[in-house]
Structure 1
């Protein structure tokens, strides 16, 4: 009897990894990019407009990227009826690595781009380097998401709550 209950519990908690298509990885990365881009652009714009230094501006952009990235996932998972605490765990599991990779690449490109860190809001360099850095971050993050989805991690966790 105890073995049977354990087997039922094991079947319930272990989900098979979904097939990880490139289309699924692109969709997951676009979702991640949306939250990251909102936070990144907002943080860079606020910090630059306020005349903050590069470190403070970049830190704000990263914090906001994580906040918006998690918030978008949280919103969808909460709509599925999951409680707040469990939904937060799902959002953290689904998005942490994806957002971290995206932010590392995005901010790394901007940091290495000559004069991009000193560009002002009215400069084409500010917006151009930010846009290109997000595109590069997207391209690098797609294979990361494909790998995670193929192992039942990342956005595969979120898909369990879609109806």
Structure 2
């Protein structure tokens, strides 16, 4: 018998909820933060058909080795700008997990994010994925501080 593992991560961003939601759904934003430090996610590898039943994909590339990690899934629920539910699977993997992102307007242009991922069949996988998301959310925080930075150069 396998045990399903899950985890929750909370963050607060100095950015309006609408911008944080776009950071989760717009490839122009995703390319700037999706993936842990040491990885890039090329814009051409990202697609997002943001509607219930729509698919998404993104390929993280390890900067040091060029090794690719494609991910993808489909959207289960989309309620802009407050809630996003989607499946998450590495192609070729035998397990699919479900991600729920809830965004709360905290006032003064701040947003609270509750990220929950469930459906792992091992605790090791859950811990590794959690560490990856934690690193990615540090990159998301930096991106939301200056989301137009790359467009000015």
TM-score by length of 2: 0.29
Q: Work out which of the two has the higher radius of gyration on C-alpha atoms and give 1 or 2.
A: 1
TM-score normalised per structure 1: 0.27
More strand by share: 2
Normalized per residue, which structure has more helix? 1
